[in-house]
Amino acid sequence: MDNKNTSRRAFTLVELLVVMVISGILSGLAAIALTGASRAAQESRARSMVDSLNLIMLQIYEIESERVPAYPGVSVSGNTQAMSALLWKRDWVRCVLPDRIAEVSTAPVVVPFSDVGPPVTAIPMSSATRLSRLLRARERIKNTIVNAKSLPAATSYVDLVDGDVTNGEWTIEYQSAECLHLILSSTVVNGKPASDMLRTRDIGDIDEDGMPEILDPWGVPFGFMRWPCGFKLTPQWNVIVESPASTTVRADWADLVAIKNELERDSIDTLLVDPRYLDSESSTPPVNATAEDPFQLTPMIVSAGSDGEFDLFGLDGDSVSLPTISFIRSGWPTEATSPITVAGFAAPANFVDPYLGNLAIGSQLGARGDVNGDGNDQSADNVYPAFGDF
């Protein structure tokens, strides 16, 4: 009798298997729920970080873009003074808010300052202040890499950006996130360092080049674009059929005009003296004047999202084969479709062009598409700022 009762209290193999299956199902459901909650938490934190970083950067951009140059003590026309101020301001912003190594390595542009009436005189506007800011940034970069990699103290900044990876090179892979960290850690906003909002886990050195990056909740460096011109114009406009070298007015430019009509004017160019406002469709070759007009560009910081892929042209990702983007152009300006002469300057001036007007839109900073060439446009899941016209 006792043996019989003992036998009845034991579990059969089938019962054990059923319990194991049920436990597995419940564990799987719990894991899925936890994974979903974790993903939702990461996305929520990413959006919060993106919005906070962008608000701080917009404050910094507004402060820097409102600075004015010291004019030489000569009599010049108001138009010439306004044009020189525009060139100076754009170069100032480029120098103090770099988003790539080239911006820190390139010297300030010498802005001409001349009168419209003969005899024309060219007086370079001093670049000493901009150069001073750049030199301080370069010294910080040098010290950061030297200390992180235990390099000789005599190592020069040039050695760290000359492309030779054997001497402690600052690599280009996550350069925009590194420039972002450089800006925030050296800027005071509202009476305190801008970097105070960051926690220890928000900072890393993924490429181990000695330069810290600001990381999103997935551990991927953020992307920072000072002038995301291409982002503003794609993918709404068909960039495949657009050609900056076209000698005729293109029908699809009407779409570009519609997009630009929804964007505000460039806040740096308050007097609208950029020559592109002055071009004409009656010129030879003909152009669409409105389609070439400048528009408001403000910095943008973006997370690549859970897939770690930006698919935004010129932005850092998992590839070191990044395109070279230079905002400095020679000769003011020489658009293929619209040569423009600026009265008052003795010779064509080098200038900083936030709009990269000599490039097709698909090759402008931030243009969306299958940039990494894997057959998919993965820019849709990026975490963008929740405010503004992004």
Give pLDDT, residue 340. 45
Give pLDDT, residue 196. 85
Give pLDDT, residue 119. 43
Handedness of CA 155, 158, 160, 166 (dihedral sign): negative
Give the closest residue to 190 by CA, choosing from 60, 8, 293. Answer: 60
Proportion of the chain in helix, strand, coil states, percent, rounded to 5: 40, 10, 55
Is the predicted pLDDT of residue 1 greater than 90, yes or no? Answer: no
Handedness of CA 355, 207, 160, 186 (dihedral sign): positive
Is the predicted pLDDT of residue 117 greater than 50, yes or no? Answer: no
CB atoms within 10 A of CB 104: 21
Average confidence (pLDDT) over 150-155 = 91
Average confidence (pLDDT) over 358-381 = 80
Residue 15, exposed/middle/buried by CB under 10 A (0-12, 13-18, 19+)?
Answer: exposed
Give pLDDT, residue 75. 65
- d(CA 59, CA 192) in angstroms, rounded, equals 13
- List pLDDT tens digits, range 38-94: 778 888 888 988 999 999 999 999 999 998 887 766 666 777 788 888 889 999 999
Total count of residues recorded for the chain? 390
Is the predicted pLDDT of residue 191 greater than 50, yes or no? Answer: yes
Give pLDDT, residue 286. 44
CA 319 to chain centre: 16
- List pLDDT tens digits, range 328-353: 887 665 443 444 455 555 556 678 88
- List pLDDT tens digits, range 284-312: 444 555 667 788 899 999 999 888 888 88
Give pLDDT, residue 137. 94
- Higher-scoring residue by pLDDT: 338, 121: 121
- List pLDDT tens digits, range 208-221: 999 999 999 999 99
Is the predicted pLDDT of residue 281 greater than 70, yes or no? Answer: no
- d(CA 331, CA 352) in angstroms, rounded, equals 10
Give pLDDT, residue 386. 85
CB atoms within 10 A of CB 18: 12
Kindly state the tokens that stand for 13.
Answer: 């193999």
Average confidence (pLDDT) over 372-376 = 76
Which residues on neighbouring strands pair with residue 111, listed in sequence order? Answer: 125
Model confidence at 388, in pLDDT bands (50, 70, 90)?
low
Model confidence at 166, in pLDDT bands (50, 70, 90)?
confident
- List pLDDT tens digits, range 5-47: 555 566 677 777 777 778 877 777 776 666 666 778 888 888 9
Q: What angle do CA 252, 257, 260 make, to 5 degrees?
A: 135
Give pLDDT, residue 248. 45
Domain borders along the chain are 16-368
- List pLDDT tens digits, range 222-275: 999 999 988 888 755 544 444 444 444 444 666 777 777 778 888 899 888 887
Average confidence (pLDDT) over 173-202 = 89
Kindly state the tokens that stand for 33.
Answer: 């729920």
Give pLDDT, residue 345. 59
- Higher-scoring residue by pLDDT: 113, 177: 177
E strands present in 157-222 = 188-189, 192-193, 203-204, 213-214
Give pTM, 2 decimals. 0.82
